[in-house]
Structure 1
Amino acid sequence: MKRNRFRKGAITVEAAVILPFFIIGVMSFAFILKIYFTHEIMQNALAGACRQMGVYGLLYYKTNAEEVIGGIEKFSSSNTVEDTLGDNWLASSIREAGKDVTDRVRAQVALIPAARLLVGNQLEACFNTAVEKGLLGLNIEDGFEGLDFSESRMLADGRSIDISVGYKMRFPFLSGLLPGVKIRQTSSVCIWAGEEGVGGSGDEEENNKSVWDMTNLKRGQEIRKLQGANLPFNFPTVAKYGNGTVTSIKSLNIEEAYYKDPVNLEKKITSYINKLKEFNGGTCGEVSIRSSDIFRKELLLIIPEIELASNQQSVIDKCIGLAESRGITLKPVKAYGKQGSGGTKADTGESGEKKAEND
């Protein structure tokens, strides 16, 4: 009798010891499932927002947002900075940050507010209830206010919108002791502008404009077509492929004050060279280029038909040598007139190249 009581007591003690660990294990497994469920909900919301944003990207062209960005770039690179602020650390900081800050302006001014709204609408449709209530039910800290869109990017590569959201999920138990799980998810979409660009061939004023008077993005699209690009617009890094040669097509308006500084010009061309050097294949839809398909790399640098300053020519010559050392053929091409010259779609031949400088 005493032995049976001892056994029952031992079982009770063992159950009392094991039960909390069993409960914690079950709750942890349930929390992992909740993380997966939350991830799927959030990714679906981001993808839906991206699809809408890709179409709404049309507004980017119609509202002249690029002109605002261009104004900031020109201000940051002009003498106005020094005339206004003098030769001090603030002036140099603005000049240094000018080209980098534009992506942040695009995101903060245009993308982030729209992304919050569109993602919120997607989540509301998913929850069939208030977004705040749904997110708190998923253990997301601070609900909708806890969603961080600060790493979203608009046209960082000239063609894509990246909506990125970060959030923190609290453990359903011991939340005061355990730090929680930080998660960041991203969804991307190519901005929609049509193969012919937003203006279309019916826009007479746009057709009469020199490519060097166009906004950066429109100019890039136009020159890409004129140079015979045969890859999708959102294909990574390169625009043309044939006979084992991948070609990156870049246009650079060296008449801009920013690129009259040889340091800025060299930095920009070097970034093009480095990006092409790192390219080892890519995929876009059904189009794919493997590393084994690449035998030669070529960089076409399209510039206005103007006389280069001696320091600009020196930089280009230096970059040709740098590219060659990295297995890349850099071809500077003067084409399509110059800024302010009116319609410049002159007779350029099949490839659109008028004059190549290979000095």
Structure 2
Amino acid sequence: MPDHILKEKKGSVSLEAAILLPLIIILFVVFICLINCVIAQDCINQSLYKTADFMSRYAFVYNEKGMKTLEKKVFEKIDELISEYIESEKIRDKIYQYIDFNKLVEYTDDLIYRQIALGVFHIYLNESELYKKGLLRIEDITFEESKFFNSNDDIVLKVKAKSGMFHLKSAIRIGCWIGGKFDSSIVSSDNVWDMDNFTRGRTLRDIFGGTLPYDYPVIAAYSNGTGISIKSIDHTAASYQTGNHFEMTIRQMIDKLADYKGDNNRPVTSRILILVMPENKMNINQNSSMSRIISYANTKNVFLDIQLYQESKK
């Protein structure tokens, strides 16, 4: 073969390599970043669920014994200062008319609880060996949109963070085990987890605010475009201890609600799944499943509201 043809072929191969090599490197870097993002999101979801579980068990006690006492002292001090420095009774009345001190204190409560949640979240985040060793970058973590005990006994945790070029977020609502959002006038004296599935479903539906007829499709309550489904699962049952049955059961609940659009009388534009579970601790596999469930619910635009109610004796 003539030398000039060989040179042309070598030149062509060199040119192709020069073009392909950077593309391969870019694709490899993007692939690694995506893998890192998926791992970071899973780590965030696991830490968020553990934080929510911790806050639901202990934050309510702190709220009742600590924050409310502090609020009372703050109100007393505000009254004292206003009375001392503002002589005109009309001006004092105007101040109380136009400034909602309850809202101000409520906002301050949220700021304090957000810092507590952030601290607890970091503790659980450091359980990840990848994060602890610096192999997994999760930065700029914030709970700035989280709400705590605003007119009810629920906490809403919304976490945002960065992992490399990706902005990650996750959210969960959970009822505090001492209070909860259930209707205390119809709380069951029996252990609901000893009931058959049908009876338990109806009982918990009534307790947690079901207002629509029992035969109404998919949702149990409706408010201003929000469809609310009330479901329960006993994670202590033998069938949920191994395999993916626990995760798939909850995913099916999420899918059914996500696909529901409502009707002419009640069009559904947002969705909440109230998932009632026993107060018993979950096993390691179930905790891992729950982190994936939280992420899955977020992708389906279904807000997951976990309510802990009674202990299962199984």
Instruction: State whether residues 159 and 190 of structure 1, in contact with CA within 8 Å, keep that contact through their aligned partners in structure 2.
Output: yes
Normalized against structure 1, the TM-score is what? 0.48
Aligned positions of 1:313-328 closer than 5 A: none
How far off its partner does 1:16 sit?
0.7
Q: Match for residue 188 of structure 1?
A: 173
Q: Match for residue 357 of structure 1?
A: none
What letter corresponds to residue 190 of structure 1 in structure 2? Answer: G
How far off its partner does 1:140 sit?
3.3
Q: Which has the higher contact order (CA 8 A, sep 6+)?
A: 2
How far off its partner does 1:67 sit?
4.6
Matched, 1:285 2:232: yes
* Residue 165 of structure 1, aligned match among 138, 159, 169: 159
Structure 2 unaligned residues grouped into runs of 5+: 189-202, 234-252, 267-314
How far off its partner does 1:84 sit?
4.7
Structure 1 unaligned residues grouped into runs of 5+: 171-179, 196-219, 249-274, 296-359
Aligned positions of 1:179-328 closer than 5 A: 180-193=165-178, 224-226=183-185, 231=204, 235=208, 238=209, 240=211, 276-285=223-232
* Residue 107 of structure 2, aligned match among 104, 107, 115: 104
The root-mean-square deviation of aligned C-alpha atoms, in Å, is: 4.4
CA distance in 1, matches of 2:81, 2:116: 33
What letter corresponds to residue 188 of structure 1 in structure 2? Answer: R
With over 3 angstroms needed to count, the CA separation of the structure-2 counterparts of 1:234 and 1:155, relative to structure 1, is farther
What letter corresponds to residue 13 of structure 2 in structure 1? Answer: I
SS at match of 2:42: helix
CA distance in 2, matches of 1:193, 1:154: 14
Deviations 1:326-345 (A, max 9, x none): xxxxxxxxxxxxxxxxxxxx
Instruction: State whether residues 160 and 189 of structure 1, in contact with CA within 8 Å, keep that contact through their aligned partners in structure 2.
Output: yes
CA distance in 1, matches of 2:97, 2:204: 37
Normalized against structure 2, the TM-score is what? 0.54
With over 3 angstroms needed to count, the CA separation of the structure-2 counterparts of 1:184 and 1:37, relative to structure 1, is same
Aligned length: 220
Instruction: State whether residues 60 and 178 of structure 2, in contact with CA within 8 Å, keep that contact through their aligned partners in structure 1.
Output: yes
Aligned positions of 1:4-43 closer than 5 A: 4-43=6-45
Aligned positions of 1:90-169 closer than 5 A: 95-109=98-112, 111-127=113-129, 131=132, 133-134=133-134, 137-141=135-139, 146-156=140-150, 158-169=152-163
How far off its partner does 1:6 sit?
1.0
Report the identity percentage: 14
Q: Match for residue 46 of structure 2?
A: 44
CA distance in 2, matches of 1:49, 1:116: 9
Deviations 1:179-232 (A, max 9, x none): x3222222332111067xxxxxxxxxxxxxxxxxxxxxxxx97xx434789656
CA distance in 1, matches of 2:20, 2:97: 63
With over 3 angstroms needed to count, the CA separation of the structure-2 counterparts of 1:186 and 1:228, relative to structure 1, is closer
